[in-house]
Structure 1
Amino acid sequence: MDVRRLELLRELAERGSITAVAAATNRTSSAVSQQLKVLEREAGIPLTERRGRGVVLTGAGRMLAQTATDVAIALERADALWEDFKQAPRGDVTLTIFPTGGQMLLPGLLSAIAEVPGLELSCTDQDPLLPDFADLTPDFDIVVADAPSILPSWRERGLAVVPLMTEPLDVALPEGHPLSEKRTLSPKDLVDETWVGVPLGFPYDRILRQIEAANGVPARVGQRFLDNGIVEAIVAAGHGIAILPRYTTRDHENGLVTRPLTGVRALRQISALLRPDRAERPSVRLVVEALRAEAERFRKEHETLPAG
């Protein structure tokens, strides 16, 4: 079977439609369909079937798509061995990240790889409202995502997952707030407070749901904002308290005080997600290792800063 046709089958499995595969591979939909029909003749059994106005993979098609992934991994591994032999990771690497992750990690990462000859790293940020950052892995070499933990769906999709950092989420208070006298805060301490929240379903909002469950009463949310900078400004002005990430919200720099939250799991796991074949590329491996080193450096630096 032709490796290029196997790759089209794999793209169909991941992207869900012939139109999406055509757009991603710079082909027409009819050209993609024709190549898949040739692959089907080579396989000798149906690989796709009509469903509604589109096509989906049969059981055999899904199995062969997984084989295509294995072939792609093997090819990238072979290329990686050759590149390692030449000791010259090079080429273009694309990375996308959520905004506060970029704020933490990109300045140091770009400095770390700036002098690597022949390596070009192109970075973008993404709207944090995206339901699942794993959906971006077909289009970027490295996708940096945050979640309460490593999601089972990432593993089910066969992605390589590289943990980078576990970041605590703290309670942000305006300076002078009575609760700032406490070193840590429990859900009970917060029962009568007005919150400056985030959109429903966001990781920080899930922490608020845990606080509600612990207290047995709904939290009073005055406002909701997507942007952390707006949340910080509203809290600093005395219009409520909020859940914010520890490493990008510093005490006293903008009229805020942050305190750790006890009694609920208030953390987010930051991970790099990659398609497994791309994870074998020397240039991508080099960037991932630099990303891990920067995450560790950033975490240690900010954990040693004096508390407010």
Structure 2
Amino acid sequence: MDVRRLELLRELAERGSITAVAAATNRTSSAVSQQLKVLEREAGIPLTERRGRGIVLTGAGRMLAQTATDVAVALERADALWNDFKQAPSGDVTLTIFPTGGQMLLPGLLTAIRDVAGLTLDCSDQDPLLPDFADLTPDFDIVVADAPAILPSWRERGLAVVPLMTEPLDVALPEGHPLSEKKSLSPRDVIDETWIGVPAGFPFDRILRQIETANGSPARVMQRFVDNGIVESIVAAGHGIAILPRFTTRDHENGLVTRPLTGVRAVRKISALMRPDRAERPSVRLVVEALRTEAARFQAEHETASAG
């Protein structure tokens, strides 16, 4: 079977439609369909089937798409070994990240790799409203995502997942709030408070759901915002309290104080997600290792500052 046709089948498995595959591979939809039909003839069994107005992979198609991934990984590994042999990692690497993750990790990362000859890192940030950052892995070499834990869906997609850091989520209060006298806060402490929240379903909102469950009563949410800076300003002005990430919240600088939350699991895990073949590239491996080093440095530095 032709490796290029196998790759089209893999793209269909990940992108979900002929139109999306065509756009991603700079082909026409008819050209993609024709190549998949040739592959189906080579396989000798149906690889796709009609469903509604589109097509989906059959069981055999999904199995062959996984084989295409295995082939791509093997080719990237072979190419990586050769590149390691003949030269230092080089080339273009694309990375995308959620906003507060970029605030924490990108300055140090860019400093760490700026003197690597022949390596270009192209960074971007993404709207945090995106339901699953793993959906970006077909279009970027490295996707940095946050979640309460490593999601099963990431493993089910066959992605390479590299844990980077764990960030606590704290309760943010306006300075002078009676609860600021406590060193930590429990769900019972905040049962009667007004909250400034995030959109439903966001990681921080899941913490609020845990607080509701622990208290057996709904939380009173006055406003919801995506941008943490807006949340900080409204809390500082005395309009409520909020769940905010520890390392990027500017407490004591803008009228805020933060306190750890006890009795619920209040953390977010930050991870690098990649297609497994791209994870084999020397240039991508170098950037991920630099990311891990920067995440460890950043976390240690801020934990030391918090302890002090």
1:158 is aligned to: 158
Change (3 A) 1:53 1:117: same
Residue type matched to 2:215 in 1?
N
Q: Does 1:191 align with 2:191?
A: yes
Deviation at 1:52, TM superposition (A): 1.6
Matched, 1:83 2:83: yes
Once the two structures are superposed, residues 159-191 of structure 1 have per-residue CA deviations (whole angstroms, 9 ceiling, x without a partner) of 000000000000000111111111111111101
**Partner Cα distance (2:203, 2:288) in 1:** 24
> Which residue is equivalent to 1:180?
180
Distance 2:232 2:43 in 1: 58
Q: Tell me how far apart the structure 2 counterparts of residues 66 and 203 of structure 1 sit (CA, whole Å).
A: 31
Q: 1:144 aligns to what SS in structure 2?
A: strand
CA contact (8 A) 1:154 1:161 kept: yes
Amino acid at match of 1:177: H
Counting only pairs closer than 5 Å after superposition, residues 56-71 of structure 1 correspond to structure 2 as 56-71=56-71
**What SS is found at the alignment partner of 2:272?**
strand
> Is the Cα contact below 8 Å between 1:187 and 1:214 reproduced in 2?
yes
SS of 1:116's equivalent in the other structure is: coil
Q: What does 1:113-132 align with in structure 2 at a 5 Å threshold? A: 113-132=113-132
CA distance in structure 1 between the partners assigned to 2:64 and 2:213 by the alignment: 46
Question: What SS class does the counterpart of residue 304 from structure 1 fall into?
Answer: helix
Instruction: Determine if the alignment matches structure 1 residue 238 to structure 2 residue 199.
Output: no
- Equivalent pairs: percent with the same residue? 89
1:50 aligns with 2:50: yes
Shift of 1:259: 0.4
Amino acid at match of 1:131: P
* Paired residues of 1:236 and 1:256 also in contact (CA < 8 A): yes
- Give 1:148's aligned amino acid: P
Structure 2: which amino acid aligns with 1:247?
A: F
Per-residue CA distance 1:188-222 (angstroms, 9 max, x = gap)? 11011111111111111110111111111111111
Corresponding residue number in structure 2 for 1:167? 167
The answer to whether residue 278 in structure 2 is matched with residue 284 in structure 1 is no
Q: Does the Cα contact within 8 Å between 1:250 and 1:258 map onto a contact in 2? A: no
Instruction: Note if 1:247 corresponds to 2:252.
Output: no
Tell me the CA shift for residue 251 of structure 1: 2.4
2-structure distance, mates of 1:195, 1:304? 29
Q: For residue 92 of structure 2, what is the aligned residue in structure 1?
A: 92
Q: Please report how far the alpha carbon of residue 129 of structure 1 lies from its aligned counterpart in structure 2 after TM superposition.
A: 0.7
1:193-272 map, 5 Å: 193-272=193-272
TM-fit CA distance, 1:306: 4.4
CA distance in 1: counterparts of 2:133 and 2:266, whole angstroms? 21
SS of match in other structure, 1:204: helix
Normalised by the size of structure 1, how large is the TM-score? 0.98
AA partner of residue 86 (structure 1): K
The one-letter amino acid paired with 1:76 is: E
Distance in 2 of aligned mates of 1:147 and 1:98? 11
Aligned residue pairs, count: 308
Moved over 2 A (4+): none
Q: Within the alignment, does 1:304 sit opposite 2:271 as a pair?
A: no
The amino acid of 1:137's aligned partner reads: T
Say which SS state the counterpart of residue 108 (structure 1) adopts. Answer: helix
Aligned to 2:16: 16
* Cα distance in structure 1, aligned partners of 2:69 and 2:248: 38
Matched, 1:133 2:133: yes
Where does structure 1 lack aligned partners over 5 or more consecutive residues?
Answer: none
Find the aligned partners of 1:55 and 1:198 in 2 and give their Cα distance: 37
For 2:104, give the aligned amino acid: M
1:105 match: secondary structure: helix
Runs of 5+ consecutive residues of structure 2 not aligned to the other structure: none
Alpha-carbon distance in 1 for matches of 2:276, 2:242: 38
Structure 1 residue 307: deviation in Å? 5.8
**Corresponding residue for residue 34 of structure 2:** 34
Q: Shift in Å at residue 66 of structure 1?
A: 0.6
* Partner amino acid, structure 2, of 1:211: I
CA contact (8 A) 1:251 1:307 kept: no
> Which whole-Å CA distance do the structure 2 matches of 1:261 and 1:306 have between them?
14
Distance 1:260 1:87 in 2: 48
Taking a change above 3 Å as real, the CA distance of residues 165 and 114 of structure 1, as seen in their structure-2 partners, is same
Distance 2:27 2:140 in 1: 19
Counterparts of 2:93 and 2:161 in 1: how far apart (Å)? 17
Query: Contact between 1:250 and 1:256, CA under 8 Å: does it hold in 2?
Result: yes
